[in-house]
Amino acid sequence: MTASGSMLCKNTEFKWGERTYVMGIINVSPDSFSGDGITNFESIITLAKTMISDGADILDVGGESTRPGYTPVTVDEEIKRVIPVIEQLAPLVTVPISVDSTKYEVVSLALEAGANIINDQWGLKTEPRIAELAAKKGVPIVLMNNLRDRESLNTDVMVEITTALKQSIELAERSGVPLKNIIIDPGIGFIKSWKEDLTVINRLNELSVLGRPILFGPSRKSFIKMVLNLPADERVEGTAAAVAIGISKGADIIRVHDVKQMVRVARMSDAIMRNNA
């Protein structure tokens, strides 16, 4: 079973299976792993407008780095970083804005400020109340699988991810989130072994059993470094290869830093895989 149907969010109707949608990453954390974190409002607005001009369908705003060894930020600090950005962006852009956070207070204020999608990197496992916000506001929610707390590598990673995402979907539905508003993410880069990241990309199509749209975020991740031995700002080709293969394996949304280049990769991949030229 593959994702089908559509989802209306802000001014965009997402028609699953027709084409690949592109989520542009806007990091407002100074310690982003890829070195793209920005805190200047003018620069953020300029980046957002450029991403939309380049073809982004969603803007994903996050204020806490999740790189390996990251230092968690307080709720107050994340609010200080994220909420003013969303307040400024919301009236200026026509595409949906996603808030990338695992904190209930941040997500709640972000939705009030104009965010239209919730992106939860722990798939409701650390803060199940976020599902209540999604249900109350009627907004889509991305449920990402995070294996950072796993105890063993001696398991089938795709079985782990599929099982965990199924549990997250059930948590969301129990809180009243309609199935049509749920998107899943296998969590590339949140897995302890970089070789497992490669496995997940190669077997991404196995997540189709869950019947939900797949968000795929390989952009500049460390598995590219391990294969090509390149710094984060030189991983565009590695990202492009992963994006193309991910689309061939069923990705519906790609989450990327380099929007212009990855929009072109997605359009070419869609022309090949979906007969969508």
Tokens representing 42 are 């003018």
One-letter amino acid of 113: A
Active site (annotated) includes residue 148: no
- Residue 146 contacts by C-beta under 8 Å, 6 or more apart in sequence? 121, 122, 123, 125, 187, 190
Task: Provide the token pair at 261.
Answer: 């280049």
What CA–CA distances, in Å, run from 134 to 32, 99, 141, 180, 246? 26, 12, 6, 12, 27
Catalytic residue among 103, 125, 221, 249: 221
Assess whether 221 carries a catalytic annotation.
yes
Crossing angle of the two packed helices 75-89 and 104-113, in degrees rounded to 10: 20
Contacts of 271 (CB under 8 A, 6+ apart): 277
Instruction: Tell me which DSSP letter residue 96 carries.
Output: -
Q: Are 16 and 252 in contact (CB under 8 A)?
A: yes
**Residue tagged active-site, from 255, 260, 264, 267:** 255
Residues marked as catalytic? 221, 255
